[in-house]
Chains A and B, each alone.
Chain A
Amino acid sequence: MKLYSSLVLVSFLGLAAITVGLFLTIIVRRAIVQYREREFASRYREIEVELLKLLGEPGVDGALALADRYAKFPHVLTDVLLNYARSLWGGERAKLSAIFDRALRPRFRSDLSSRRIVRRLRAARLIGFFVDQADAAVIQGLLRDPPIVRLAAANAIAHSPSTEAVPIIFRAFETDDVTNAHAYKNAFFSLQLRAENGIREALRKPLDLEKLEILIEIVGAIPIIALAEDVAAFAGHPDKEIRLRVARTLGSLRLPDMLPALLRLARDEAWEVVAQAVKSLGRLGSPEALDVLTQALFSRQWHVRYNAREGLLNMGEAGIARLDQVARQTLDRYAADMAAMGLADAASKGGA
């Protein structure tokens, strides 16, 4: 027992010392953190005031002087630049770029190729606003990093005004593993209409189904009307998931020209595709779709009936009249119920 007692006594002394030490660390750390936060805030305000002054001035001399003065505060400067870069364009953004080039570019470059993920991540946040052609290869490397860096890099590249950004991102998408493909959705969306050519070319390549699905979906999400025909070409694709996404995208594009493709999809063998096509037809609001939507109310599938109801509600008075007809018929109770509930919904929203 004596050995035990000595061990326990030593443990007690050791643990007590660690506990008190940790508690003191908390107190000291809190004091330091609060001091740093105050310093950061005051420095931020200082830089902000000077930046706002020079934004109205011609030339970038003032910006360069500011960069020289605050280069020794890279974290604060980075924060200011990131916050202002989001809302400034043209000549004013050029001033921010000048500050960045002068004070932060070397640090940014070393961060980009750093072995530490935190540094790469920090650099990734800046790419969107201050990207340079020379960094393209390193940036592409970030797209193979862990998800958090990849997403940040993809977003940042997409926000970049550089024309080089688009090919970089599409090359990475095509060559990356399919499990990472979803991470590119954000980037494609952020590219908006700049993504058009990249998507068109990618749609013509033999891609994994998942990648194809993403591209088709993104056309509808942006939306890129010019790619409607390219998407409609997949309406006869053997994979159900692809047809389903085609139906959804065509609905999002809301082009009357796409009516025939959607009518074809509304007769698809897979009920999931039919349900989506019916929904899209409702969005299109074309009177020519009235019959198909009315017929869909009699489908055996609940989702098809539901979407048909929603579609008819979207079509205004003509749609409501059809719902009324179906609600009154007695041959199919399910169709009648669905139509009646649609009418009740319309009434509660003041639509009937």
Chain B
Amino acid sequence: MKPGLLVLLNIFTQGILVYFLLINVVYMLFVVLSAFGILRHFRWTRFLQTQEIFSSPMSKPISIIVPAFNEESGIVESVHSLLSLEYPQFEVIVVNDGSTDTTLAQLVETFSLKPVRRIYRKVLECKPIRGIYTSSEYPSLVLVDKVNGHGKADALNAGLNIARYPLFCAIDGDSLLDRDSLLRVVRPFLEDPERVMAVGGVIRLSNGCLIRPGQTVILRLPKNNLARFQILEYFRAFLGGRMGMSMLRSMIIVSGAFGIFRKDIALACGGYNPKAIGEDLDLVVRIRRHCYRKKIPHRIVFVPDPICWTQAPERWRVLARQRGRWQRGLLQTFHFYGRMVFNPRYGRVGMLALPFYLIFELLGPIIEILGYLTFVLLIFWHKVDYPFAFLFFIVSVVLGTLLSISSIFLEELSSKRYPRFRDIFILGAYSILENLYYRQFLSLVRAKAFLDYVRGRNVWGAMEKKGFERT
């Protein structure tokens, strides 16, 4: 082996060590920031009564848009729960995106929907709408049946064309909202109506949970290992990452599964981009860009207590598809909006949020995989210091575990937590386990997504839906 190559490998290895240190320090900082944010939020809202918001005339009406493609397993349950939400004025617009299963038939039959000629303005481009259905029994429900195409963004745009209210909430067809979620998530719009453009809430996993009629979610840990790992991941992502970003006023993701936007600003930005793989991220970045360019004071906020329940994949293959898509979405965002990165014109988004996602979220898995490859090469060349490598591995596991335990701590601070002591121990055990194979699997998937994107493979990929368990 040539000495020059060895020097290069050494430099690269040390670079990886520095990166490893940096990424973990940044994540820990986020956890600390989030802990402050969550504590502050719950102290501030200690005496807040949601009835105050309910009775306020300034609580703007909300259009809830639910894109549904082959959601037969849970769509009826979802719509029932949405219709029973506590909010003074809202409409539920289900957009059947050319489902090939019984989604449309189930909805029509369950809610006694009838086709109507409804007038709407086609402000945003979308695939043709085949029919609009309403029901005299459920006046706040509208079903839009459209031709499939261009993915979820197209369905959301169709819903936006039909939506009548100044705020809209995009949620997934397989999700459930807590009964007072809208009242809680709309609070920032009341407090700062001029500047708040979008608000995101917490997404939690419903796998294993029991749904009581009337929409109460009884928290239970799922039996599936994969779902348990994802529970920890969601804690880290929402209670750690998003809350931390919100504290730094640098939010650029409002989850597509549950977020509220001002319709006027979304329309001004051209609605959802049908070309975007991650339509939620794309929209928020465009809103940010629009506001910075037009010098509009704006805020995008994360609120840690309104909760949306969604189902996580319980099979490796489906999870890989989902995560691959998320990663390609992130990559595409940098492809589309790369000029905003490190650009002071875009304030904290350009100088903080986008660089963070670029360096740690986008490049992270690639650097991790390159690290593993380097390690294999060094083994091959007999250049591995095994005691050091072993120690480093143990440290990385402990650090990963610490991050996950911290996220369990954040969950403890939040309003909804797994009630049994046993659950904490189980999650604690999974905090260790996930560092042994789950994290590596995800890094591999995300690195592969990078290659897929470069090769132009950008299929959405089917998701499996299981439906909610009822008491």
**Could you list which residues of chain A lie within 8 angstroms of chain B, going by C-beta atoms?**
1, 4-5, 8-9, 11-12, 15-16, 18-19, 22-23, 25-27, 29-30, 33, 78-79, 82, 86, 117-118, 121-122, 125-126, 147-148, 150-152, 155, 179, 182-183, 185-186, 189, 221, 302, 306, 309, 338, 340-341, 344-345, 348-350
Contacts and interface: CB of A to CB of B under 8 A. Distances in A.
Interface stretch (B63-71, B185-193, B220-228, B362-370): B185-193
Interface in B378-414: 385, 387-388, 391-392, 394-395, 398-399, 401-402, 405-406, 408-409, 412
A18 B194 contact: no
Given A12-B395, A121-B47, 9 more contacts: A5-B385, A9-B391, A18-B402, A22-B405, A117-B44, A118-B43, A121-B46, A155-B52, A349-B136
Contact of B398 (A12, A126, A348): A12
A125 B47 contact: yes
Contacts of A125: 47-48
A82 B44 contact: no
Most chain-B Cβ atoms within 10 A of its Cβ — which of A147, A189, A338, A341? A147
30 contacts: A8-B391, A12-B394, A15-B395, A15-B402, A19-B398, A19-B405, A22-B402, A22-B406, A26-B408, A33-B412, A118-B43, A121-B43, A147-B191, A150-B191, A179-B194, A182-B58, A182-B193, A183-B193, A186-B58, A186-B190, A189-B58, A306-B119, A309-B119, A341-B119, A344-B116, A344-B117, A345-B116, A345-B117, A345-B118, A348-B114
Q: Max chain B CB contacts within 10 Å: which of A117, A121, A186?
A: A186
Contact of B412 (A12, A18, A26, A338): A26
B140 interface: no
Interface in B325-362: none
A4 B116 contact: no
A183 B191 contact: yes
Nearest to B299: A147
A155 B55 CA distance: 11
B388 A4 contact: yes
A19 B117 contact: no
B437 interface: no
Contacts of A118: 40, 43-44, 46
Task: Name the 3 nearest CB pairs between A and B, nearest first.
Answer: A147-B191, A125-B47, A182-B193
B409 A26 contact: yes
Nearest to B297: A179
Given A12-B398, A182-B194, A183-B191, A189 B56 contact: yes
Contacts of A179: 194-195, 297
A185 B58 contact: yes
B412 A23 contact: no
Nearest to B24: A15
Nearest to A146: B191
A121 B44 contact: yes
Nearest to A150: B191
A8 B405 contact: no
Contacts of A126: 47
Contacts of A117: 44
A155 B50 CA distance: 13
Contacts of B408: 26
Contacts of A27: 421, 424
B57 interface: yes
A151 B409 contact: no
A12 B402 CA distance: 11
A250 to B, nearest CB: 18
B136 A16 contact: no
Contacts of A338: 119
A22 B58 contact: no
A305 to B, nearest CB: 9
B366 to A, nearest CB: 24
B405 A26 contact: yes
B131 interface: no
B385 A1 contact: yes
Nearest to B56: A186
A221 B348 CA distance: 38
B134 interface: yes
B105 to A, nearest CB: 20
B46 A122 contact: yes
Interface in B412-471: 412, 417, 421, 424, 428
A341 B388 contact: no
Contact of A221 (B57, B116, B387): B57
Contacts of A341: 117-119
Contact of A82 (B47, B387, B398, B412): B47
Interface string B46-84: 111101100011100000000000000000000000000
Given A11-B395, A349-B136, A26 B424 contact: yes
